[in-house]
A and B are shown apart, each in its own frame.
Chain A
């Protein structure tokens, strides 16, 4: 939270900089200071311990072995697949949810309320529940065992949350801003693109982060919809990459693969924490 303290935002009140001086008066203390530090630090050690286990078991030889394509599969392939799926899925989600979110917030049409409700209901149904026919639908349209197919499926299931976030972002912008743009001669589409979207950037960043993390960490869709191991994304391929023909599972290789999987998420989280948290809360507290 150290990066965000100077920029409080209402949606992230939990994480943002509330003036510490005003707190102790209103919020009574439950633990004395010394005990608080002991408990907080012990818990921090417990939370960081698994991450330390992973990092401390990474070594360069394992890294080289993972990138060695002569073993049958190189981690670069999986990394590329993961990047492709995550970026494609995120872009598709963003375009579709920005358009739909704008329509629901500013361009209501007959039945748009019902349409928005339908989107919220799909939010409730997990895609694990439709995975079997999904496989067959993808096979019918030639996208089974295809990274584009996986990306589109992941994009679809990130869509409800993302549309919800974008609709709320646009709805929070006063319509007078858009009217002013139209008086100046901008059409509704130009108004959305040039005037409204820049104001909705925090919501857009939150939606981007949530979509990207969900796509990057997806295991189930890639496991089922991909059958060629060269097309596996990182979470699925780690199991194969860390299996040695001679010695079975090599846990050093496994932890090195996990580190490569985890690093992008941890860095993005630490840098853009404020938006990520705002998006999570915006989605949860509807």
Chain B
């Protein structure tokens, strides 16, 4: 309807004005998205930087203190310990997810009915929220009443009366188990997509040249999956560095603060101790670390594309 009057105009002008009008419409159409991002992302981001330079109680008068919060962070034992634990958790989680994701993907990599059935099952926990998964595993490993402690206790594998969340190593292992169960299906899916992208002809050619199944797996499939490997790495590292829900629900940071993560410390400083200026400084530090890690992984991703 709007196009009709323009038919009367000279062709050249018409095209230009349509181009400009289309551009205007494009700009207008992207306004809602930028309104949301501006209000709930970019503005808070700017405020994070601003607030991090203040002693800013949640209720009360802020006072400019320069880099005081950052200086404090580097001598805050609890925060440094949380950062150390977060890195440790990431270092444990990532290889487990990588190995299992590849193993599962190779197990069920074909398009047959049986393979697709097992793909569905292994992926099912992904759609269950991290919080819901945490509540289930918290119950499973309760002393005396937990179904898993009872089951494994009845065959003598574990001590059913032990409080598994009061010991760092068992609590940590339970969280690692829960997260693996909950997210490995997603990683498996990424690897499956990577395998699917390798042309059949490549393996075919290797077979004709006399390669065995294991040889073509190790020397052809695995090297061709390096970009996929980098992708799975990015997902599990970023996810692990931001861990919060599972520790909040299952260990509440305990025993004795030993499983507090970086995000957990931001939460505690901002919303338990109400020191939002300090929490903002910790947020900035977290963003810097995440940025550095992502940049490093991008480099890895690019290098593996080149080779």
Residues of A that sit less than 8 Å from B by CB: 1-2, 5, 13-20, 22-23, 25-31, 36, 39-40, 43-44, 46-48, 50-51, 53-54, 56-57, 92, 95-97, 99-100, 102-104, 106-110, 112, 115, 118-119, 122, 124-137, 152-153, 155-157, 159, 163, 182, 185-190, 213, 216-220, 223-224, 235-236, 238-239, 242, 251, 254-255, 257-258, 261-262, 265-266, 268-270, 273, 276-277, 280-281, 284-285
Contact = CB atoms under 8 A, between A and B. Distances in A.
A145 to B, nearest CB: 13
Contact of B131 (A25, A187, A238): A238
Given A13-B193, A57-B147, A285-B231, A128 B266 contact: yes
B25 A107 contact: yes
A219 B131 contact: yes
A104 B30 contact: yes
Given A136-B276, A257-B135, 4 more contacts: A26-B204, A28-B207, A46-B181, A47-B125
A28 B216 contact: yes
A254 B203 CA distance: 50
Contacts of A213: 127
Contacts of A50: 125, 133, 136-137, 140, 178, 181
Contact of A20 (B25, B112, B130): B112
A131 to B, nearest CB: 7
A187 B25 CA distance: 11
B33 interface: yes
The CB with the most chain B CB atoms within 10 A, among A13, A136, A281, is that of A136
B217 to A, nearest CB: 6
Contact of B124 (A100, A157, A269): A269
Interface residues of B, number: 109
A282 to B, nearest CB: 10
B235 interface: yes
A9 to B, nearest CB: 12
A187 B116 contact: no
A47 B124 contact: yes
A64 to B, nearest CB: 20
A152 B148 CA distance: 40
B36 A280 contact: no
A54 B200 CA distance: 42
B52 to A, nearest CB: 9
Interface of B: 1-4, 21-27, 29-30, 32-34, 36-37, 39-45, 47-48, 51, 104, 106-114, 116-125, 127-133, 135-140, 142, 145, 147-148, 178, 181, 185-186, 189-190, 192-193, 195-197, 200-201, 203-204, 207, 212-214, 216-217, 231, 235, 238, 242, 244-245, 248-249, 263, 266-267, 270-271, 276, 279-280, 283-284, 286-287, 290-291, 294
Contact of B29 (A43, A100, A155, A159): A100
| 5 A-B pairs with the lowest CB-CB distances in the bound complex, closest first | A217-B129, A107-B26, A1-B116, A18-B111, A28-B213
Nearest to A266: B127
Contacts of A216: 129
Nearest to A45: B121
Contact of B47 (A2, A118, A137): A137
Given A40-B108, A187-B2, A217-B129, A255 B47 contact: no
B36 A43 contact: no
Given A28-B217, A30-B106, A99 B118 contact: no
Main secondary structure of the interface of B (DSSP, over half): helix
A99 B29 contact: yes
Nearest to A264: B127
Given A19-B111, A103-B26, A128-B242, A134 B118 contact: no
Nearest to B178: A50
28 contacts: A13-B196, A14-B189, A15-B116, A25-B207, A28-B207, A50-B125, A51-B124, A53-B139, A96-B36, A99-B33, A102-B29, A109-B27, A131-B267, A132-B283, A135-B271, A137-B43, A152-B36, A187-B2, A187-B3, A216-B129, A217-B128, A218-B129, A220-B244, A254-B135, A254-B138, A262-B132, A273-B120, A285-B193
B139 A156 contact: no
A5 B116 contact: yes
Contact of A251 (B32, B114, B127, B145): B145
B283 A28 contact: no
A51 B125 contact: yes
Given A57-B139, A107-B26, A133 B121 contact: no
Given A5-B116, A188-B25, A217-B132, A99 B104 contact: no
B266 A132 contact: yes
A182 B19 CA distance: 13
Contact of B267 (A99, A115, A224): A224
A39 to B, nearest CB: 6
